[in-house]
Amino acid sequence: MDRRTMLSLGAATAALAMTGEAAASPGPRGPSDAALARSLGGDFRSAHAEVNGTRLHYVIGGSGAPLVLLPGWPQTWWEFHKIMPALARRHTVIAVDLRGMGGSAKPAGGYDKKTMATDIHELIRKLGHQRADVAGHDIGAMVAQSLAAFFPATVRKLALLDVAHPDEDLYQLTLIPRPGQPFFPWWFAFNQAQGLPEQLIAGRSRVLIDHFCDMLLVNRAAINDRDRAIYAHAYATPEAVRAGNGWYQGFTQDIVDEKSHGKLAMPVLGLGAGPNYWFLADHLPRKATDVRVVEIKDSGHYVAEEQPAAVTAELERFFG
């Protein structure tokens, strides 16, 4: 190989490395959590608390009995922004970034749902409440159900949006979709990979956000460009991707922990869209004694953003 060829290859390698570095950059920061909280109106504010050996971010506002909202992947507390102002008329609304999410710390471990539930239990107590109503979506629903199981005195009523806590049924998921199946949860397996997702997604998280919004929404405009940019920024760094994947890597321990749950005694509401409604209607009566399951129509997975009026009405009716 002559010197000119070696120089050309060296320049190409350097250019490729620079391209990779540029692609991995998280990009410009979007609006702060404090600014987003203020945009909701009322007295909403952004705050942090040290609990259970980690630091949680939350947004709080309103007055009345406490209502804790727990979001899912790949989103943040912002997924509830359409329903928080209405709920705050009768409740002190506390929307929390879970361990590893958004403005919360991203420790090396603790992503099993029992540990994450302990985070929320301690946050509720730290904010001066003995009991709270709790609603969770997606990963947040898993944490909410774990909270109700392990700290039943802390949860007055429980609402699960489109998802329930992992159990052994997860082992029945397949990697190949059946003919005509609109989608299959390939990310459950992908997020188990150690180290790879961080390299592929960091700095490219908007591609991931758009994929899930376009796949799991009936009305793709329900999560608009600004919302998608907020979520993309929240998952832009390797640490954020690693932490979010930790929620999925904790499923094996979650399945073990679920065996000790027992039936929940507090009232439980399930809100499901499409096939997830039928899943919750079949699943929840086996997990709780006082269950009501409602279908959220004309919606995909992100029910609080796609049908906020219907979700707000059902939560207000349930929590009282």
pLDDT in tens, 181-190: 877 899 999 9
The tens digit of pLDDT for each residue in 32-53 reads 999 999 999 999 999 999 999 9
Tell me whether residue 48 is one of the annotated catalytic residues. Answer: no
Helix, strand, coil abundance in the chain, percent, nearest 5: 50, 15, 35
Which is the catalytic residue, given 248, 254, 257, 302? 248
Q: How many residues does the structure list for the chain? A: 320
CATH 3.30.420.40 holds for 33-319: no
Half-sphere exposure of 138 (CA within 13 A, CB side): 22
pLDDT of residue 169: 94
Cβ atoms 71, 101 nearer than 8 A: yes
Q: Which of 137, 165, 233, 301 is catalytic?
A: 301
Alpha-carbon dihedral sign for residues 185, 76, 156, 293: negative
Residue boundaries of the structural domains of the chain: 33-319
261 labelled catalytic:
no
Q: How far is CA 6 from CA 12, 13, 18, 206, 272, in A?
A: 10, 10, 18, 36, 60
Is it the case that residue 6 has pLDDT exceeding 50? no
The pTM of this model reads 0.91
Residue-wise pLDDT for 56-113, tens only, equals 999 999 999 999 999 999 999 999 999 999 999 999 999 999 999 999 999 999 999 9
Establish whether 231 is a catalytic residue: no
- Phi-psi region at 41: left, alpha or beta (left = phi > 0; alpha = psi -120 to 50): left
Q: Which candidate in 33, 138, 162, 257 is catalytic?
A: 138
Confidence of residue 20 (pLDDT cuts 50, 70, 90): very low
Confidence band (pLDDT; 50, 70, 90) for 12? Answer: very low
The number of beta carbons lying within 10 Å of the beta carbon of residue 32 is 11
- Residues contacting 44, CB < 8 A, separation 6+: 37, 38, 59, 60, 61, 62, 84, 85, 88, 93
223-271: pLDDT as tens digits: 999 999 999 999 999 999 999 999 999 999 999 999 999 999 999 999 9
pLDDT score at 183: 76
Token pair 């989608």 is found at: 183
